Amino acid sequence: MSNFDAAPPNTHAGGDDDALRPKGNGPMNHPVPPQYADENVDMIAYSKNVPLWKRVCQHSLTQMMLLSVQAFCGPAMTDAIAGLGGGGLATPQTSNIATAVNYALLAIVCLLGGPIVNKLGTKWALALIQDVGTSLSRDVGACGKYLALWIVSRNMGQLVGGVINLAKNHHKGASGGVAPDTYIAFLIIESMALPFAFLISPLENVVRSDGTRILVSERIGTKQEFQKIKVTMASKLVVLSALWAFWSFFYSDTWSTYLGTYFSVRSRALSSLVSPFFCIIGCFGLGFILDMKNVSQRRRAQIGLITVVILNLGVYIWSIIMQTRFNAASPGKVDWDEHLYPTAFLPYFFVQTTGPLSQSYMYWLLSSFATDAQANMRNGAAFRCLEAVGQAVSYGMNTQIKTSLLIGFCVTFGLLALAFAPMLVLVNTVPDHIPADVIAEEQEKVYTKTENIEASKGA
């Protein structure tokens, strides 16, 4: 266990450091690789015995792309509608109430994500329930870029949605909400996610670029899953990241209500098209920072945290200044051909990048503590649950649209300030090596030693 001395205590889903290696005859102690153990694949034999189509389908990048399709067809379309401000309705209140209820239900589903995926498998969980599937695959040195791919897919979906929005709602002087048939196109795209969900492979069949499989622990019963959820929610990792999770999506409704309150229909349609552009660049930029080869994992985590916080602070200060001006003199409905438009719109534009950067960074950080795929899934589900709670509270708060939006901006600012200290503590305990990778290396040494002993006996 000396190799785990650098890892922080009680940060993974199991609770304490000894849980990194299961007791007894579990998959980490058995000299013969069990069904769900991480193992190196003989790539030569794999190439000869497995058809090309199957090798391509089971590759970690392919699986991540399939997950990205789910993001494109599902959450991205929801984001595109949100990009209209107030769900594209004449007033944001009805949309805010419905969305608050939706995220409250989503929080419950995410909390139960572990048992659902364990019972149904990732494929059927994705086919039946939106947002249950979390990071399935992790190539060494590419996690940041894989997460960026997922985020970018969501934003590419928003771009497509933005084109639809603008095509249907580009006439000057239009009042009220967006054209009703705008939503039909979104429903068609969302329905396309289902067939791609059936192409998701079981975790134990996914093969990484370096010829290794994903570390997957043995399946457990539903009662045990609930016990693990309880331990996960009380773990140091989740406790320290809870405020960050609650804050990370809290901005969404305040800025959406801001857009719906102060901008014309066609300006709101244009925003849903242009907002994702910079997010794509930003997320890949953060991905490269988090995957830097010559910098330790802890240092990358620290650089990522500071980068995300500084960018968010800049946007929040700008937004508060603009809202203070609007409180003093309402601008009415700002159109894109007015001189006020760039100054008023840019805070919304940039928060559509800084927000996803906050979430992308946190999921990368969670994976840095993972002991196996299930632990990573439970941690991700816990984080998404807390995100959804934050979203539900945010949308609920903004149902009172007569209240100044300045309150929402200041609350979001305050939540970031509160979240920073515990996140800094967590980041400063990031292990130098991912526990799952260390386990896999030790396990491989055991297998190699056992094979050498057996070979010497045979000789």
Which tens digit of pLDDT belongs to each residue from 177-199?
556 666 777 778 888 888 887 88
Share of the chain above pLDDT 70, in %: 68
Number of residues written out for the chain: 459
What are the residue boundaries of the structural domains of the chain, listed by start?
Answer: 9-18+41-216+234-431
Q: How far is CA 168 from CA 79, 172, 177, 180, 261, in A?
A: 17, 12, 11, 9, 20
What pLDDT is attached to residue 244?
95
pLDDT value, residue 409? 92
pLDDT band at 132 (very low <50, low <70, confident <90, very high): very low
Element (H, E) at 341: helix 341-367
Distance of CA 118 to the CA centre of its chain: 20
Q: Which residue has the higher pLDDT, 182 or 239?
A: 239
Query: Binning pLDDT at 50, 70 and 90, where does residue 445 land?
Result: low
- The stretch 290-296 carries a mean pLDDT of 85
pLDDT in tens, 304-330: 999 999 999 999 999 999 999 999 998
**DSSP code for 89:** S
Assigned token pair, 435: 């526990």
Q: How many angstroms separate the CA atoms of 197 and 359, rounded?
A: 23
pLDDT confidence band for 80 (50 / 70 / 90): low
Does domain 9-18+41-216+234-431 fall under CATH 1.20.1050? My reply is no
Q: If pLDDT is split at 50, 70 and 90, which confidence band does 17 have?
A: very low
**Averaged pLDDT, 207-221:** 72
Band (39; pLDDT cuts 50, 70, 90): low
Which residues does 147 contact at the CB level (< 8 Å), separation at least 6? 135, 283, 287, 360, 363, 364
- Which of the 8 DSSP states describes residue 251? H
Q: What CA–CA distance (Å, rounded) separates 447 from 459?
A: 18
**From CA 401, how far away is CA 413, in angstroms rounded?**
19
pLDDT at residue 30 tops 50: no
Asked whether the predicted pLDDT for residue 61 surpasses 70, the reply is: yes
Give residue 211's pLDDT.
77
Q: What is the pLDDT of residues 81-120, one digit of tens each?
A: 665 555 545 455 666 677 777 778 778 877 776 677 667 7
Query: pLDDT by residue (tens digit) across 343-370?
Result: 999 999 999 889 989 988 998 898 888 7
pLDDT of residue 415: 95
pTM value > 0.75: no
